[in-house]
Amino acid sequence: MHKPTIVPLVFVLGAALATACGASPGEHSDGFEGSNNSGGGGGGSSSSGGSSSGGTLTGGDAGGSFGMDGGAPTSSGTYVPPTALGCSTRAQDIVVFDFRSGWWTGGGGGDYAATALPVVTGACPGTSVDYHHFENVMHVKCLYQSGSTGSCMQMAAANTVNDILSSLQHPNVSDYTQIWVLSGSDQDPSDIPVGDALFQGVLGATTGACIPMLVAAGDGFITHANTITNDLGMGTVFTEETTPPSFFSVAELPAQPASFLSGSQMSPHLLFKGVSTLVDTVKQVFGNATTAESKGDSLAASVSGGAIYQVIAHDGSGNPTIAVGAASVGSGQAPRPFIFDSGWQRTYGLGQSPATAQYLKNIVMYLSLVGCKAAPIATQ
């Protein structure tokens, strides 16, 4: 069967993000300067939990900028160590692109968006999510906003630029405050292949943009994630630990946590504020028997390309699984902050793990305080 052309998706993302670094009135670029050991959270750094690489990143406007995690503005534009995590004064408008044939919707995700997206929008007042799940033959769009009931709709496969533009809530991707990319795999025939000129073009055009980004993978679905990290100049960051990728599905049978991260597996960092444990692997049980299990992939311990990069969590196998940092996007430009999570199957345990739900909310808050859409923490 002929696969639909999906190049427009990449083009739309790239064209919009290429202009996203220009802060509008009232916004601040996230300019900071960091060394190879920067990036620690409010709880302090940990030699057992992190590894950083790359050089110095500089950027920001002459009038001062906000440091990561809501650090105080400075006139020098240098990185301000994080001191607090909270809700930004700017309401968060998040676009989520789900490229697996079912993380939170689709054949593998079923209606799990009804569990995950309320957690995301529940992080802070005014948070909204424009979620899009793409497969070769289908497109699912979900809209959720804090304080209200969300909904999802199945749409025809997105085959043209106009298809994508008309499906977004805003005219351009640059109108969103955060971008979340949930990776698929080129080994899954249902997933949009990264070899298409469209997808490659989109990511290539995002290089100069500094909107903060979450890139998530797991269960062997790493292809789209690595396309992004290569585009950002960091090389291949995600390594597949499940070969071939698992087709673990929550569409028919719910998942439950099988193991957790805790203690020294999680470095003191603001991203783990209020998170004493974190779901690692998940399983499905029918009767008294475990019928399927899902585990994460792994991250590189360090990266190249001038990025600030710190591993802040390791999974039960000792593999790096969560990292934070910022990628250089060009001389004199504000860097692009990011969170990488190679164990996204952990989100299937949201209903049974309030701490994991808090982690998801912390991602929203963390990314709201960094990058060219950043604003200070709201007064409590």
Stronger pLDDT, 1 or 165, i.e. the higher one: 165
Is pLDDT above 90 for 186? no
For 308-318, the pLDDT digits (tens) are 899 999 999 99
**Mean per-residue pLDDT for 89-115?**
90
Is pLDDT above 80 for 271? yes
- Mean of pLDDT over the chain: 76
Q: Can you give the residue ranges of every domain in the chain?
A: 7-74+91-368
Distance, CA of 87 to chain centre: 18
Task: Report the relative pairing of strands 65-67 and 308-314 from DSSP bridges.
Answer: unpaired
User: Rounded to an integer, what distance in angstroms lies between the CA atom of residue 86 and that of residue 237?
Assistant: 29
Enter the pTM of the model.
0.82
3-state secondary structure 152-205: EEEECCCCCHHHHHHHCCCCCHHHCCEEEEECCCCCCCCCCCCCCHHHHHHHHH
Is pLDDT above 50 for 1? no
33-47, 117-131, 133-147, 283-297 — which is least confidently predicted? Answer: 33-47
User: Rounded to an integer, what distance in angstroms lies between the CA atom of residue 177 and that of residue 124?
Assistant: 14
**Mean per-residue pLDDT for 113-134?**
94
User: Rounded to an integer, what distance in angstroms lies between the CA atom of residue 164 and that of residue 103?
Assistant: 20
pLDDT value at position 185?
A: 79
For 224-263, the pLDDT digits (tens) are 899 889 888 899 999 999 998 888 999 888 999 999 999 9
Is pLDDT above 50 for 71? no
pLDDT value at position 161?
A: 55
**Mean per-residue pLDDT for 298-324?**
94
Which residues share a beta bridge with 182? Answer: 98, 216
User: Rounded to an integer, what distance in angstroms lies between the CA atom of residue 115 and that of residue 135?
Assistant: 21
